[in-house]
Amino acid sequence: METKFDDSVLGRARVGTSPELEAYYKELEKLGAGALWTVANDIEPWEPRSNSVPMLWRYKDLRDLVLKATELVTPEQAGRRVVYLVNDKRKDVSAAVGWLYSGIQATLPGESTSAHRHRASALRFIMEGSGGYTVVDGNKIKLGVNDFVITPNSTWHEHGVEADGKTCLWQDGLDIPLVNALEANDYAVHDGKQELSVPVDYSPMSWNGAGLIPADREWNKPYSPLFRYSWEPTYEALLKAAKVSGGSEFDGLLMHYSNPKTGGHVMQTMGASIQMLRPGEHTKAHRHTGSFVYQCAKGKGYSIISGKRYDWQERDIFCLPSWAWHEHVNLSESEDACLFCFHDLPVIQGLGLYQERAYGENGGFQILN
Ligand code: GTQ
């Protein structure tokens, strides 16, 4: 163990054992109390500690099983027809990593769900299909492949695929584990489907992402008025940025989807980002707090997380636990690779919990295997 993590130093709990102490602990336990020094070193780790493990979910392995759900249950029966992604060490809270939930939802042409809402926030990244849509607070939003859409906390939402569309699969991301941990979740069902209160695509058409803000519109909600971030302008933004910037040595070209009104993250508890790795790019290793769920939107490569290599290609999903060393590699020498991710950075940053460390800095190291 490195000396700086030595629990025998002054300032750490370093009480031995004795029959007298054991008896004392028992007395305290009977009264619903305990001696802090018996747990202090555990509950006050020297550095951020994650209970999650890095994991990769290969699309080619999961896709058929997700589609099989369409033969087994209807949206009416299931509420949401979703295969969710379970971190080996977070089964108890149904998390993909940290306090984040993720799943893959399948909707057949002509199907739609009834509307519901919950205190947890949700987002989606479209994996395949056509004619998909989601209705957020009376605003029907059309969804195409690689589009990113938000359904902020307590907004009514329902999903569907037009009858002339193709089966849609999309990745859901929700902060269910976090909101449950905070003991603040709730859930309500709508008595059917929402009435559309505005024209289709009202949100993305009026908040168009060109840096222009409607002059006649008040927006005081704590989340982005732009509900959909389409792939085309997103990818174009990355290509343009790549012409004038090298990006970060740790992240390549990394952009956060933002609330056009504030420039901040799209929702209060969850944010999302898109990242481009140029042909052949191999980022430097670093680590930071925050939990991240990635989906490869384009290309192929691998990430080394906590010393282990995870190879990914289009549609594969993988997670990065808080404080895990990581670096990303684009395996193609001619094509760029794009990684979508969603994360809890709004919470981590908003509560002053963000910290970051470069590989090799302050004794940090990474063993590659
Ligand atoms: O579409 O609202 O994957 O409420 C899990 C919970 C999706 C949804 C999920 C949900 C939803």
pLDDT digits (tens, 9 = 90+) for 301-328: 999 999 999 999 999 999 999 999 999 9
Please measure the distance between the N-terminal and C-terminal CA atoms of the chain and give it in whole angstroms: 21
In percent, the amount of the chain with pLDDT more than 90 equals 94
| Residue 85, ligand 1, Cβ within 6 A | no
Cβ neighbours of residue 234 closer than 8 Å, sequence gap 6 or more: 146, 148, 255, 257, 274
C-alpha dist (Å) from residue 104 to 74, 80, 107, 111, 161: 15, 10, 10, 16, 15
H/E run at residue 203: helix 202-206
Q: Whose CA is nearest to atom 8 of ligand 1?
A: 80
Mutate to test the pocket of ligand 1, among 174, 175, 190, 194 (most ligand atoms within 8 A of CB): 174
H/E run at residue 71: helix 59-72
Strand partners, 57: 317
Tell me which residue has tokens 């739609």: 112
Residue 365 scores a pLDDT above 60: no
User: For residue 80, what is the DSSP state?
Assistant: S
Separation CA 113–CA 193 (nearest Å): 8
User: For residue 217, what is the DSSP state?
Assistant: -
Strand partners, 12: 10
User: Which ligand 1 atom is at minimum distance from the Cα of 84?
Assistant: 3
| Residue 173, ligand 1, Cβ within 6 A | no
C-alpha dist (Å) from residue 309 to 55, 83, 274, 281: 10, 25, 21, 16
| Residue 172, ligand 1, Cβ within 6 A | yes
Residue 362 scores a pLDDT above 70: no
| Residue 105, ligand 1, Cβ within 6 A | yes
- Give pLDDT, residue 193: 93
Hey, is 22 helix, strand or coil? Answer: helix
Mean pLDDT (the chain) is 95
User: Which ligand 1 atom is at minimum distance from the Cα of 187?
Assistant: 4
Domains of the chain: 55-367 (2.60.120.10)
Separation CA 357–CA 349 (nearest Å): 15
Separation CA 128–CA 338 (nearest Å): 16
Segment 180-189 shows an average pLDDT of: 97
Mutate to test the pocket of ligand 1, among 62, 73, 82, 169 (most ligand atoms within 8 A of CB): 82
User: Which ligand 1 atom is at minimum distance from the Cα of 176?
Assistant: 6
User: Which ligand 1 atom is at minimum distance from the Cα of 157?
Assistant: 2
Q: How confident is the model at residue 361 (pLDDT cuts 50, 70, 90)?
A: low
| Residue 174, ligand 1, Cβ within 6 A | yes
Residue 51 scores a pLDDT above 70: yes
Residue 218 scores a pLDDT above 80: yes
Q: How far is the CA of 320 from the centre of ligand 1 (A)?
A: 21
pLDDT digits (tens, 9 = 90+) for 60-78: 999 999 999 999 999 999 9
Backbone phi, then psi, for 72, in 5-degree steps?
-100, -35
Residue 253 scores a pLDDT above 60: yes
Residue 163 scores a pLDDT above 50: yes
Residue 192 scores a pLDDT above 90: no
| Pairing state between β 300-305 and 326-330 | antiparallel
- Give pLDDT, residue 251: 97
Residue 366 scores a pLDDT above 50: no
| Residue 82, ligand 1, Cβ within 6 A | yes
Segment 17-32 shows an average pLDDT of: 98
Residue 99 scores a pLDDT above 90: yes
- Give pLDDT, residue 360: 84
Mutate to test the pocket of ligand 1, among 83, 104, 105, 149 (most ligand atoms within 8 A of CB): 105
Residue 368 scores a pLDDT above 80: no
Separation CA 164–CA 131 (nearest Å): 7
Q: How far is the CA of 171 from the centre of ligand 1 (A)?
A: 10
How distant is the alpha carbon of residue 24 from its chain centre?
Answer: 45
Pure H helices in 223-358: 231-244, 345-350
Hey, is 160 helix, strand or coil? Answer: strand
| Residue 80, ligand 1, Cβ within 6 A | yes
Separation CA 134–CA 227 (nearest Å): 10
In percent, the amount of the chain with pLDDT more than 70 equals 97
- Give pLDDT, residue 367: 40
Segment 246-259 shows an average pLDDT of: 97
Q: How confident is the model at residue 26 (pLDDT cuts 50, 70, 90)?
A: very high
Classify burial at 177, counting beta carbons within 10 Å of its beta carbon; exposed 0-12, middle 13-18, buried 19 or more.
Answer: buried
Contact at 8 Å (CB) between 135 and 194?
A: yes
| Pairing state between β 271-277 and 139-143 | unpaired
CA-based nearest residue to 178, from 363, 308, 342? 342
Q: Whose CA is nearest to atom 9 of ligand 1?
A: 172
Segment 198-217 shows an average pLDDT of: 92
Q: How confident is the model at residue 210 (pLDDT cuts 50, 70, 90)?
A: confident
Hey, is 263 helix, strand or coil? Answer: coil
**pTM for the whole thing?**
0.96
